[in-house]
Structure 1
């Protein structure tokens, strides 16, 4: 089934403004990093700069598999989604590249990084641990949403 086929049932493509608004209101997604055996998927909290980048932190240092894969990745994918019901959901798929942000820039990013959601466990680890801040440059974006009931289910 194609997106065009599903549009008859209420699926809509999101334009850049809708995608930006969606990313501005979300704080978690899934980062997909390439490996020889397929993508390595990582749940992720992020801050969005309102334009062309997501920012996130990893705790644990260079021994972490996710950090090793991130450092080695030329390209990556981020999926951000929100599901309220089977008839009301949104998803944005981002393609881009990742780079470590030099510590000298962290203070300038405090406003963006502070918007990232983190479980309390990770907040404590960030204060005590070895962290790295990453920038995900958004090169391509695609968003889809379904809001409402499909044809034939609307009330009379």
Structure 2
């Protein structure tokens, strides 16, 4: 028999999970069409903000979903034996133009773990690489402990 116990994570536990993980799933929507992508991120626990680098092709699907500072949901999760943890951040994703970048943005983005390699079917000069910031208006974490032991 499986016994589950679900508890809300404290702010400190939520920040710790976001600090040790390096990837999550960013979900966007346009009208009734959903779009979700795995991404790497940087997180500032003192400000509780994310910085994300998103790469798209001009006129591509991702670019279409990123117009007009969309509302997004960002999910980070981990499994550690019988314990599952997840954090959900909801808010508006804002483009960070190069002219608006501050040392703080660069420092936060520097914490983002980027893939060791990226493969694109286009040359780098044909890709749009942009930084975005997510200052969530909702940020919550959950922990689920599962006990599979039988008596």
Find the counterpart in structure 1 of residue 132 from structure 2.
Answer: 134
Shift of 1:139: 0.7
Query: TM-score scaled by structure 1?
Result: 0.78
Matches of 1:112 and 1:49, distance apart in 2:
6
Contact 1:33 / 1:73 at 8 angstroms: preserved in 2? no
Alpha-carbon contact 1:61-1:132 (below 8 Å) kept: no
User: How far does the alpha carbon of each residue in 1:5-50 deviate from its partner, in whole angstroms, 9 at most, with x for none?
Assistant: xxx7322210212111111111100011012334211111100011
Give the number of the structure whose residues are more often strand, by fraction.
2
Number of residues of Structure 1 aligned to a counterpart in Structure 2: 145
Matched, 1:92 2:87: yes
Using CA pairs below 8 Å that are at least 6 residues apart, which structure has the higher relative contact order?
A: 2
The residue number in structure 2 matching 1:113 is 109
Equivalent position of 2:97 in the other structure: 102
Point out the more displaced range, 75-84 or 97-106.
97-106
Superposition pairs of residues 39-118 of structure 1, within 5 angstroms: 39-50=34-45, 51-85=47-81, 87-106=82-101, 108=103, 109-118=105-114
Question: What's the RMSD between the two structures over aligned residues?
Answer: 2.8
Residue of structure 2 aligned with 1:122, choices 92, 96, 118: 118
SS of match in other structure, 1:113: helix
Question: Which runs of 5 or more structure 2 residues have no equivalent in the other structure?
Answer: none
Summarize the Cα distance change of 1:117–1:154 in structure 2 as closer, same or farther, 3 Å threshold: farther
Q: TM-score, normalised by structure 2?
A: 0.80
103-112 or 9-18, larger mean C-alpha shift: 103-112
Whole-Å separation in 2 of the counterparts to 1:16 and 1:34: 28
Query: CA shift at 1:107, angstroms?
Result: 5.4
Distance 1:123 1:98 in 2: 25
2:6 maps to 1:11: yes
